[in-house]
C-alpha cells in the first residue's frame, strides 16, 4: 500500500482534488481554511493508494495549528510520496511551500492545478522546464474537471519508490557556510536524510523542530553563535534570510519557465476595485444582503415555510394521525406523546428547514463566488472596535436566520479567542424563531407599534457589542483581536455541485439535530407539561396522572416555584416562567405555550402570523408594557434553544466553555431585563425600592466592566514590551 | 513609508517588514518579503487588499503599517 499526502496552499483546490480522487464528499468552500483536520480516503480506481488530505498551509513553519498538523504528519508518519498541489494562477507563492516540502527529502509530485485559468489569461507555463528546475515530476491537472488525474496517480506511484527526491537548492554563501557548520554539529542526532532540513530549521531558529532532536545544550549554544554570525553577515533575522532567499530562488525559476501576457489588473482585481471600494463597499454589501433576505425570508422562504408548517405538518400529518389514533383506540397519553410531543416539537423545528435551505443556498452561492471573504474584510474595521474580528460578521448574519448554522459558521475563524467570543455572542442576534415572540409582544401588548421589532435587533446587537467590549478585557480573551490577514480567493463562476453540497451539509446537520437532541427535549418537556398530581377521583389524596389542563402539570407547579426569581424583572407569574423554559425547546414555543396557558382560541402562533391580535388579548392581560418588554429582553438574550446549545457545545469542544457561554447569556439576559424593568418603574413613579438599588449596582458593575483596564499578565508584559520596542 | 499610505494601483517594492517575530514570519510566508513587489488593490481606512505574487491578501491597518515600501 502506498500512502500519499496531499499538501498545498489554502484554497488551491485541495479538497476538490481529494474528492475527485477518492469520490468522497468533503465540503469545498471558496474560503481559505475549509480543511481543519486531516482527512483520508482511498483512490476510487486503485484501492492500494491511500490519500491523506492535509490542511491548507502556506509554509511548514509551525505558526498555525494547520501547519503543525501538516508538518508533524510529514515528519513522523513518513508518507511514501507527497502530492503537492500548486495553484498555477499564483504559482510563486505556491512554490514557496514546494521548496519547503522538497527540503524535507520526501519524494514529491507537483500537481499543477488551474492551468485553464492561466491559459485563459494568455500566460504560458513551461512545465518541462519547471520539472527540471525543481527536480520532481510536474503534472498538469484540473481538479474541478477531473483532468490529468490518471497521470498524476501514475507519477505518484512511480515516485513513491524513490528513496530521496533529488532536490538541491543553494542559498547564498554565508547561509550555506552556516548550514554546513550546523549540519556537522547535528549529525547523528537526526536521521541522515533529514540532516539538510534540520540544518535549515535550526538556522531559522525553529524551536519546535529543535525540540524534536533533543540536542545537547552545548551544541545549541554553538549553533546560536553560527546563526548570529550569519545574521550579522546578511543584516537580517535568520528566518527572514531563508524566506527572502527562497523567494529569490523561486523568482529565478518562474522567470525562466513562465511567460506572462497580461500587465494590467486581472478581472478579479477589477471587481475588487468596485466591490471593496472605500465608498461603495458598504452600500453594495447592504444591497446584496437585503436581496438575500428578501428572497429567503420574505418570498420563497416564507411560502415554503408556511406550506411545511401549516399544510405538511398541520393538515397532512398531525390531523390525520390524531384522527387515526382515535379510530384505532390508542391510549390517550401515547397519542398525545406522538402528536403533540414528538411531531409538534420536532415539526416546529423542521418547519424552518425550507427557509433555511433557501438562505443557505444564497449564502453558499456568495461564498463560492468569493464574496463572503470580502465581507469579512469590509466589516473588520467596524468590528475591531468592539474587540471582535471581521470574520465574526458572517456568523452574526447567519444567526439572524438561525443560531445553529450561525454558531457553526464560526469555525472558519482561526484565532481561538475570536472564535470563542463569536460563539458566545452570536446567539444574541434575534433568530427567525424569536420573531414570533417579538411579534406577539408588539401586537398583543403594544398594539402593533412599529418600533418594537427593530428595537429587538438593537437589543441583540447591543448585547453583542457590550459583550465584545466586556469580554475582551477578561483573562481568557485578553489581548488584541488577532491581526486580520486573509487570502481572498479569485472571483469565479459558482460550481453548482459545490454550492449544493455546502447547502446540503449545513441543512442536514440541522435536521440531524432535530432528530436527536430536540426529539429528546420535546419528549421530556411534553412529559412534564402533560403529567401532574391531580386530586384522585375517589376524593381522597392525589394521584399521578395525565392532566387536562397544563396548569395542573408538574411544569406549572415547578414554574410557580421558580417564578419568584423573575419577580424583580416584572414577570414573576408562572405562565411566563413556563413559557421561557419551553422556549429552550424552540423559541417560537414561547408563543405556543402562552396560547395554551391563557386559553387562547386556536393556535397562537398561527394567530400571530395572521396578525390577529384581538384573539390574543388574554395574553396581554397579565402584562404591562414594561413587564412585557422586560420579558421580551430576557427571552431574546437568555440561553438559546437546545439545538443552538448543542451547536455551541460542538464548536467550543469543551463542556466548561459551553457552560460558561450559556451561563453568561443567562446572566446578561437577567441583568438587562432587571435594569430595564427597575429603571422603568422608577421613571414611571413607583418610588425607590430595593430593586432600584440592585439595578443601579448592576448598571455600575457593567459600566465598570466596560471601562476597567484590560487584564494583562504581569509576567508576560515585560518581554512583550521589549519585543514591541525592537 | 508604510503600505497603508501607498497609492491604489501603484506597484511598490517592499523595503522592510517590522513587528513581532511571529507576525513578521507569517507575513513573509504569505509572500511579503523584502525586495518583493506589492500592489494595493483597494483600501479602507488603512485596511488594504493587496496583490502579492498574483494572489489577493487582505490585511488590516496594524499589519499594513509594519510593511514599509
pLDDT (tens digit, 9 = 90+) per residue, A360-406?
Answer: 788 788 888 989 889 888 888 888 888 888 888 888 887 887 788 78
A238-257 vs A195-203: helix crossing angle, rounded to 10: 120
What pLDDT shows up at residue A518?
65
Residues A117 and A208 in one domain: no
Select from A231, A269, A716 the residue whose CB has the most chain B CBs within 10 Å, as the one to mutate to test that interface.
A269
Q: Please indicate if any CB of chain B lies within 8 Å of the CB of A378.
A: yes
Q: Does residue A561 form part of some domain?
A: no
8 Å CB contact between A134 and A250:
no
Choose among A72, A490, A88, A540: nearest CA to A268.
A490
What residue of A is the nearest CA neighbor of B54?
Answer: A90
Residues A19 and A109 in one domain: yes
Residues A20 and A69 in one domain: yes
Using DSSP bridges, classify how beta strands A2-8 and A81-87 pair: parallel, antiparallel or unpaired.
Answer: parallel
Q: How far apart are CA A640 and CA A345, in angstroms?
A: 16
Using DSSP bridges, classify how beta strands A108-113 and A138-140 pair: parallel, antiparallel or unpaired.
Answer: parallel
Q: What backbone torsions phi and psi does residue B48 show, to the nearest 5 degrees?
A: -130, 150
- Containing A696, the helix (H) or strand (E) segment is helix A690-707
Q: Does residue A191 form part of some domain?
A: yes
Q: With CB atoms and an 8 Å threshold, state whether B54 touches A381.
A: no
Q: Does residue A224 form part of some domain?
A: yes
Q: With CB atoms and an 8 Å threshold, state whether B49 touches A384.
A: no
Position A26 confidence tier, pLDDT thresholds 50, 70, 90: low
What residue of B is the nearest CA neighbor of A90?
Answer: B54
Q: How far apart are CA A449 and CA A531, in angstroms?
A: 39
- Give this complex's ipTM: 0.91
Q: With CB atoms and an 8 Å threshold, state whether B49 touches A247.
A: no
Q: With CB atoms and an 8 Å threshold, state whether A276 touches B21.
A: no
Q: With CB atoms and an 8 Å threshold, state whether A483 touches B59.
A: yes
Half-sphere exposure of A500 (CA within 13 A, CB side): 3
The average pLDDT across A332-337 equals 80
The average pLDDT across A404-409 equals 82
Sequence-ordered list of residues with C-beta below 8 angstroms from that of A269, at least 6 positions apart, any chain: B41, B51, B56
A642-652 vs A416-425: helix crossing angle, rounded to 10: 170
Torsion of CA A473, A478, A481, A483, to 10 degrees: 150
Q: How far apart are CA A105 and CA A165, in angstroms?
A: 6
Residues A135 and A220 in one domain: no
Q: Does residue A479 form part of some domain?
A: no
Q: How far apart are CA A511 and CA A315, in angstroms?
A: 21
A353-369 vs A371-383: helix crossing angle, rounded to 10: 90
What pLDDT shows up at residue A717?
45
A726: pLDDT strictly greater than 80: no
A725: pLDDT strictly greater than 50: no
Looking at CA atoms only, how far is residue B1 from chain A in angstroms? Answer: 18
Total domains, chain B:
1
The average pLDDT across A574-599 equals 81
Residues A7 and A110 in one domain: yes
Q: How far apart are CA A488 and CA A377, in angstroms?
A: 9
Residue B42 Cα to chain centre, angstroms: 12
Position A721 confidence tier, pLDDT thresholds 50, 70, 90: very low
Task: Name A138's bridge partners.
Answer: A110
- The pTM score is 0.74
**CATH, residue A51:** 3.40.50.300
What residue of A is the nearest CA neighbor of B14?
Answer: A244
Residues A23 and A73 in one domain: yes
What residue of A is the nearest CA neighbor of B58?
Answer: A486
Look at residues A244, A259, A274 and tell me which one is the last residue of a structural domain.
A259
**CATH, residue B35:** 2.30.30.90
What pLDDT shows up at residue A496?
83
Q: Which of residues 246-305 of A touch B (CB under 8 A)?
A: 247-248, 265, 268-269, 272-273, 276-278, 281
Q: How far apart are CA A175 and CA A541, in angstroms?
A: 92
Q: How far apart are CA B26 and CA A197, in angstroms?
A: 20
Q: Which three cell numbers stand for residue B8?
A: 491604489
Q: Does residue A203 form part of some domain?
A: yes
What pLDDT shows up at residue B32?
92
A486: pLDDT strictly greater than 50: yes
Residues A53 and A191 in one domain: no
Residues A32 and A54 in one domain: yes
- Between A436 and A285, where is the model more confident? A285
Total domains, chain A:
2
Strand order in the sheet with A485-488: A485-488, B55-59, B47-52, B37-44, B11-13
Q: With CB atoms and an 8 Å threshold, state whether B30 touches A380.
A: no
SS3 A373: helix
Rg (chain B; Cα; Å): 10
Mean pLDDT for chain A overall: 83
Q: Does residue A201 form part of some domain?
A: yes
The average pLDDT across A273-298 equals 84
Q: How far apart are CA A561 and CA A559, in angstroms?
A: 5
Structural domain of residue A237, as residue ranges? 173-259
Task: Note the helical H segments in A343-446.
Answer: 344-350, 353-369, 371-383, 393-399, 403-409, 416-425, 435-440
| Residue tagged 524535507 (cell numbers) | A104
Q: Does residue A231 form part of some domain?
A: yes
Residues A89 and A226 in one domain: no
Q: With CB atoms and an 8 Å threshold, state whether A269 touches B36.
A: no
8 Å CB contact between A635 and A591:
no
Q: How far apart are CA A470 and CA A467, in angstroms?
A: 5
Q: With CB atoms and an 8 Å threshold, state whether B57 touches A240.
A: no
Q: Which of residues 459-518 of A touch B (CB under 8 A)?
A: 480, 483-490
Q: With CB atoms and an 8 Å threshold, state whether A381 touches B47.
A: yes
Q: How far apart are CA A283 and CA A290, in angstroms?
A: 10
**CATH, residue A253:** 1.10.287.1770
Looking at CA atoms only, how far is residue B45 from chain A in angstroms? Answer: 8
Select from A93, A97, A246, A725 the residue whose CB has the most chain B CBs within 10 Å, as the one to mutate to test that interface.
A93
Mean pLDDT lowest for which of A25-39, A219-233, A544-558, B10-24?
Answer: A25-39
A475: pLDDT strictly greater than 80: yes
The average pLDDT across B21-38 equals 87
Select from A488, A719, A720, A721 the residue whose CB has the most chain B CBs within 10 Å, as the one to mutate to test that interface.
A488
Half-sphere exposure of B23 (CA within 13 A, CB side): 18
Residue A185 Cα to chain centre, angstroms: 46
Sequence-ordered list of residues with C-beta below 8 angstroms from that of A236, at least 6 positions apart, any chain: A244, B34
Q: Does residue A379 form part of some domain?
A: no
Q: Please indicate if any CB of chain A lies within 8 Å of the CB of B37.
A: no
Structural domain of residue B29, as residue ranges? 3-68
Residues A99 and A68 in one domain: yes
Q: How far apart are CA A636 and CA A438, in angstroms?
A: 9
Looking at CA atoms only, how far is residue B32 from chain A in angstroms? Answer: 9
Q: With CB atoms and an 8 Å threshold, state whether B62 touches A483.
A: yes
Residues A8 and A152 in one domain: yes
Residues A153 and A226 in one domain: no
A664: pLDDT strictly greater than 90: yes
8 Å CB contact between A481 and A418:
yes
Q: How far apart are CA A314 and CA A101, in angstroms?
A: 60
Amino acid at each position: 500500500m502506498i500512502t500519499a499526502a496531499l499538501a498545498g496552499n489554502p484554497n488551491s483546490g485541495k479538497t476538490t482534488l481529494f474528492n475527485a480522487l477518492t469520490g468522497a464528499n468533503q465540503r469545498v468552500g471558496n474560503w481559505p481554511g475549509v480543511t481543519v483536520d486531516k482527512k483520508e480516503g482511498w483512490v476510487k480506481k486503485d484501492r492500494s493508494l491511500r490519500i491523506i488530505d492535509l490542511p491548507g498551509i502556506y509554509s511548514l513553519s509551525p505558526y498555525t495549528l494547520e501547519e503543525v498538523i501538516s508538518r508533524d504528519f510529514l515528519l513522523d508518519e513518513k508518507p511514501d510520496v507527497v502530492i503537492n498541489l500548486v495553484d498555477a494562477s499564483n504559482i510563486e507563492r505556491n512554490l514557496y511551500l514546494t521548496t519547503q516540502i522538497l527540503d524535507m527529502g520526501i519524494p514529491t509530485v507537483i500537481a499543477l492545478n488551474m492551468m485553464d485559468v492561466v491559459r485563459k489569461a494568455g500566460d504560458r507555463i513551461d512545465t518541462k522546464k519547471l520539472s527540471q528546475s525543481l527536480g520532481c515530476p510536474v503534472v498538469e491537472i484540473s481538479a474541478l474537471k477531473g483532468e490529468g488525474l490518471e497521470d498524476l496517480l501514475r507519477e505518484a506511484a512511480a515516485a513513491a519508490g524513490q528513496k530521496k527526491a533529488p532536490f538541491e537548492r543553494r542559498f547564498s554563501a554565508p547561509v550555506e557556510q552556516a548550514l554546513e557548520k550546523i549540519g556537522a554539529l547535528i549529525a547523528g542526532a537526526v536521521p541522515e536524510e533529514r540532516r539538510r532540513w534540520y540544518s535549515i530549521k535550526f538556522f531559522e531558529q525553529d524551536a519546535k523542530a529543535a525540540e524534536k532532536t533533543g540536542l545537547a545544550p552545548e551544541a545549541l549554544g554553538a549553533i546560536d553563535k553560527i546563526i548570529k554570525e550569519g545574521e550579522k553577515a546578511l543584516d537580517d533575522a535568520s528566518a527572514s534570510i531563508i524566506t527572502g532567499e527562497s523567494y529569490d530562488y523561486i523568482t529565478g525559476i518562474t522567470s525562466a519557465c513562465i511567460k506572462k501576457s497580461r500587465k494590467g489588473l486581472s478581472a478579479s482585481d477589477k471587481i475588487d476595485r468596485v466591490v471593496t471600494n472605500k465608498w461603495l463597499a458598504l452600500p453594495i454589501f447592504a444591497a446584496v444582503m437585503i436581496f438575500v433576505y428578501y428572497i429567503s425570508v420574505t418570498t420563497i422562504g416564507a411560502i415554503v415555510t408556511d406550506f411545511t408548517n401549516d399544510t405538511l405538518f398541520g393538515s397532512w400529518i398531525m390531523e390525520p394521525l390524531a384522527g387515526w389514533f382515535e379510530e384505532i383506540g390508542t391510549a390517550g397519553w401515547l397519542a398525545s406523546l406522538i402528536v403533540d410531543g414528538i411531531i409538534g416539537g420536532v415539526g416546529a423545528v423542521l418547519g424552518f428547514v425550507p427557509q433555511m435551505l433557501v438562505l443557505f443556498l444564497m449564502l453558499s452561492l456568495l461564498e463560492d463566488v468569493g464574496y463572503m471573504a470580502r465581507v469579512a474584510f469590509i466589516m473588520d474595521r467596524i468590528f475591531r472596535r468592539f474587540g471582535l474580528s471581521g470574520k465574526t460578521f458572517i456568523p452574526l448574519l447567519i444567526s439572524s436566520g438561525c443560531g445553529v448554522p450561525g454558531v457553526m459558521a464560526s469555525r472558519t475563524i482561526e484565532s481561538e479567542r475570536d472564535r470563542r467570543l463569536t460563539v458566545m455572542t452570536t446567539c444574541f442576534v434575534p433568530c427567525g424563531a424569536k420573531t414570533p415572540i417579538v411579534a406577539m409582544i408588539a401586537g398583543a401588548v403594544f398594539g402593533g407599534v412599529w418600533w418594537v421589532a427593530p428595537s429587538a435587533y438593537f437589543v441583540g446587537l447591543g448585547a453583542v457589542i457590550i459583550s465584545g467590549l466586556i469580554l475582551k478585557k477578561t483573562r481568557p480573551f485578553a489581548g488584541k483581536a488577532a491581526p486580520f490577514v486573509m487570502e481572498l480567493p479569485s472571483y469565479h463562476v459558482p460550481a453548482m455541485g459545490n454550492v449544493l453540497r455546502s447547502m446540503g451539509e449545513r441543512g442536514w446537520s440541522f435536521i440531524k439535530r432535530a432528530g436527536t437532541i430536540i426529539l429528546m427535549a420535546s419528549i421530556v418537556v411534553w412529559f412534564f407539561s402533560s403529567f401532574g398530581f391531580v386530586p384522585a377521583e375517589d376524593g381522597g389524596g392525589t394521584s399521578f396522572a395525565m392532566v387536562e389542563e397544563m396548569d395542573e402539570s408538574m411544569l406549572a407547579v415547578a414554574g410557580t416555584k421558580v417564578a419568584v426569581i423573575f419577580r424583580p424583572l416584572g414577570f414573576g407569574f408562572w405562565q411566563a416562567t413556563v413559557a421561557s423554559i419551553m422556549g429552550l425547546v424552540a423559541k417560537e414555543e414561547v408563543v405556543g405555550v402562552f396560547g395554551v396557558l391563557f386559553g387562547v382560541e386556536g393556535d397562537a402562533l398561527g394567530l400571530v402570523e395572521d396578525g390577529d391580535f384581538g384573539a390574543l388579548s388574554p395574553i396581554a392581560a397579565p402584562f404591562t408594557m414594561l413587564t412585557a418588554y422586560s420579558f421580551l429582553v430576557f427571552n431574546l438574550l437568555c440561553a438559546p434553544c437546545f439545538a443552538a446549545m448543542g451547536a455551541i457545545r460542538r464548536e467550543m469542544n469543551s463542556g466548561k466553555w459551553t457552560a460558561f457561554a450559556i451561563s453568561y447569556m443567562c446572566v446578561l439576559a437577567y441583568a438587562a431585563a432587571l435594569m430595564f424593568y427597575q429603571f422603568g418603574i422608577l421613571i414611571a413613579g413607583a418610588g425607590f425600592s430595593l430593586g432600584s438599588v440592585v439595578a443601579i449596582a448592576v448598571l455600575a458593575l457593567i459600566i465598570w466592566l466596560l471601562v476597567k483596564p484590560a487584564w494583562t499578565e504581569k509576567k508576560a508584559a515585560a518581554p512583550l514590551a521589549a519585543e514591541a520596542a525592537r | 513609508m508604510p503600505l497603508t499610505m501607498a497609492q491604489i494601483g501603484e506597484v511598490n517594492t517592499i523595503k522592510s517588514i517590522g513587528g513581532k517575530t511571529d507576525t513578521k514570519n507569517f507575513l513573509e510566508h504569505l509572500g511579503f518579503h523584502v525586495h518583493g513587489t506589492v500592489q494595493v488593490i483597494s483600501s479602507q481606512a488603512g485596511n488594504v487588499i493587496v496583490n502579492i505574487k498574483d494572489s489577493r491578501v487582505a490585511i488590516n491597518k496594524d499589519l499594513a503599517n509594519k510593511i514599509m515600501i
